Structure 1
Amino acid sequence: MPDDIPKIRQRGKKNQPKDTAWKQQKLPALRPHYNIASAIPVTLVTGVATLAMGIALYFGHMGSLEQEVIYTNCTLQNGTQVTRIMRSETGNQTFQCLYSVILEDDFTGDVKFYYGLNKFYQNNRLYFNSRNDQQLRGKVTEIDGCDPLQYVDYKNGTKIPIAPCGYVANSMFNDTFQLFYMNDTTGRGVRVPWTTRGVLGATEMKRKFRNPVRAANQTLCDVFQGTIQPPSWRYPICQLGANSTDADVGVGFENIDFMVWMKVAALPNFRKVYRILNRQVDMFSNGLPKGTYQLVIDYNYPVYMYDGDKSFIIASENWVGPRNLFLPVIYLVVGTFLLLVTILFILIWLKQRLSRVHPT
């Protein structure tokens, strides 16, 4: 044999696994055989459970009361209705709209107040990515990712960073609301007390939104010096919430309305929590009593450019949350479908049994 031919290595049984059930994959295994008889209990139990859940959710949601006021077309104090106010028409002017709201039932328990927008696509990728989370935590000069609303470029070459930067902050919702109860014994309207406690979680607020650190002798506007407000804002960020009568509203990056808006919605038709009823006031300790209310709206936010609608919602919620029949209907449809499938399987099973007993 020539020397240049390599020898084949003989491994023998050195590396062969032992002949055991575990190493030779001979362990017993369950190999179920599915047929009509085994499928009937599965579809029956699943269908009954799903249908029961749908019924429970349906009555739960029907127990949640809700009153919606669509105010896209503003009704002024003199009764005049202004159709789809444009920003170019208003400038810095604020229209005040008045609406009469009649609650036919007592809204007992916790009551939340929402504002809603339709046809507003906060889920657009270019839109919701236009922000800088480091800036919202207090680093005001961090503007990466906010293009084209990163800074204002002046003709002399000066670039002033925008705070808060990006499309999301620039389009912040800024309508404000007041609600008055008109059925009190004094004959005067009583302002419904609101609170911001519970609108957002405390952990989320502290982790994602913080004002810049300031010295003892500095104001909030001092630490925001060298920045400028977004193009659509009327006032700088340091004044946001400064004039509010509610101390819990917060100012600057820690303003509750700003934080709620920066949580972008997943669908184009959405609602966001505005305030929660303060039930520590005696007259409203059990919720909102039925009767007549007057809703006062400071109309600032334009929706004409995308043909959208605005609404104000009063919602009394129970264990299922606000009224939304989408999920109960889905459960009811799926549960009914599974029960119909179960009936079909039973008929097929009976036919098979009868054919065995009386073969043709």
Structure 2
Amino acid sequence: MADVKEERSNEPTYNPFTQQELPACKPLLVPKLVVITFMFIGTLFIPLGAICLQASSEVVEYTQRYDDLCVQGTSNADRETNLQALNGAGTNCQVSFQVTEKMKAPVFIYYELHNFYQNHRRYVKSRSDEQIRGDATGAMSSCEPKVYTGGEAKLEVSPCGLIAWSFFNDTYSLAMNGQNLPFTDKGIAWSSDRKEKFGNQPTLNFNDIPEYRGGGSISGPLNENEHFIVWMRTSALPTFRKLYGKIEQDVEAGSTITVDIDNRYNTYKFDGKKKLVLSTASWLGGKNDFLGIAYLTVGSICFIFGLVFLGLLCKYPRELGDVTLLSWNKAQKE
């Protein structure tokens, strides 16, 4: 008897939730409800898709690839050899954008990388969040394989890890119609990153080794270097854009924007590409037709299915509960 009482004491308290007796809605999918549902989704999604496509079409965007223009060579292997021969000094080149539509401020400046897998598990894990927050006792073992400098000294690196080590270090300066075009890099990183994830500690032994394929110099407190903060937020896809700056004035149609590039980042080693992007934004964000096309596609399919089911319902009406038209019932009678 004691065992039975102990076993019963472990039972959950009786209530409608534990016994799954809460009121529940169980709609019956009758033909009329199915038609109404499909027609409602189609009527809602098709206008939404048109609105999204309209917002995307209002975005003015110009893109220019430059990695193949800034270093001489017939292949990426040749370009990598020529770039490494400069011992980190990089090359200077220039690209131009002919603006055919007015670009309303702010105009965003992005760099775009191709074939760079920031989502690789080992790459994503190679960082120390404690260290970049300013915790001197933070664990650095997660930064492998970039924890120490090369050579015999084996000095600790701050910030450590592969993400910091491969920091993008190309730089740009802009001119419009021959006049300097100022832009700002303030406010390009998430405010939560600046305030909570990065501390005000300076870098340590980071700029002393020029052997990395990418990786730029970092100076000053980390929470003030927004280029670095943007880079540390890794991307999910191998082709991605990262915000470099913002032009806070309108760019009129017919203008020519010239960009002087200090090309140092070695994308040639992994057959990558580098592009520079100038873009405005709408209330929906940057230029991207995918959302609008997806809404239109789903809405159109639902609307067509709704019309088909409506036609079948009109041609073969039956009362609720009438099963005389079901094939299995006909087969039984036969």
Question: For this structure pair, what is the TM-score category when the shorter chain's length is used for normalisation?
Answer: 0.7 to 0.9
**1:343 alignment partner, one of 291, 307, 311:** 307
Alpha-carbon separation, structure 1, partners of 2:42 and 2:216? 56
Alpha-carbon separation, structure 2, partners of 1:22 and 1:145? 44
Amino acid at match of 1:152: T
- Structure 2 unaligned regions, length at least 5: 5-15, 326-334
Residue 231 (structure 2) pairs with residue 261 (structure 1): yes
Residue 291 (structure 2) pairs with residue 302 (structure 1): no
**2:142 alignment partner, one of 141, 145, 157:** 145
1:196 corresponding residue in structure 2: 185
1:132 corresponding residue in structure 2: 128
2:240 corresponding residue in structure 1: 270
1:68 corresponding residue in structure 2: 63
Alpha-carbon separation, structure 2, partners of 1:109 and 1:196? 15
Higher strand share: 1
Alpha-carbon separation, structure 2, partners of 1:126 and 1:33? 50
Kept in 2, the 8 Å contact 1:170–1:231? The answer is no
1:197 alignment partner, SS class: coil
Which stretch has the larger CA shift, 58-67 or 347-356? 347-356
% identity of equivalent residues? 28
2:110 alignment partner, SS class: strand
Which stretch has the larger CA shift, 64-73 or 132-141? 132-141
**1:90 alignment partner, one of 86, 106, 117:** 86
Amino acid at match of 1:70: R
- Structure 1 unaligned regions, length at least 5: 1-5, 10-20, 183-188, 213-219, 242-249, 279-283
1:296 alignment partner, SS class: strand
Kept in 2, the 8 Å contact 1:164–1:229? The answer is no
Residue 286 (structure 2) pairs with residue 318 (structure 1): no
Summarize the alignment of residues 1-360 of structure 1 with structure 2, pairs less than 5 Å apart.
Answer: 31-75=26-70, 84=76, 85-86=79-80, 87-139=83-135, 142=138, 143-152=140-149, 154-155=151-152, 158-182=153-177, 189-212=178-201, 220=202, 224=204, 227-229=205-207, 231-232=209-210, 240-241=218-219, 251-252=221-222, 254-278=224-248, 284=249, 287-290=250-253, 291-353=255-317
Kept in 1, the 8 Å contact 2:109–2:243? The answer is yes
Kept in 2, the 8 Å contact 1:164–1:230? The answer is no
Structure exhibiting the larger radius of gyration computed from Cα positions: 1
Q: For this pair of structures, how many residues does the alignment match?
A: 304
- Cα distance change on mapping 1:83 and 1:297 into 2, 3 Å: farther
Alpha-carbon separation, structure 1, partners of 2:168 and 2:151? 27
Q: What is the CA deviation profile of residues 297-345 of structure 1, one whole-angstrom value per residue up to 9, with x for unaligned ones?
A: 1000011122111100000111111101111111111111111111111
Amino acid at match of 1:34: L
Higher helix share: 2
1:98 alignment partner, SS class: strand
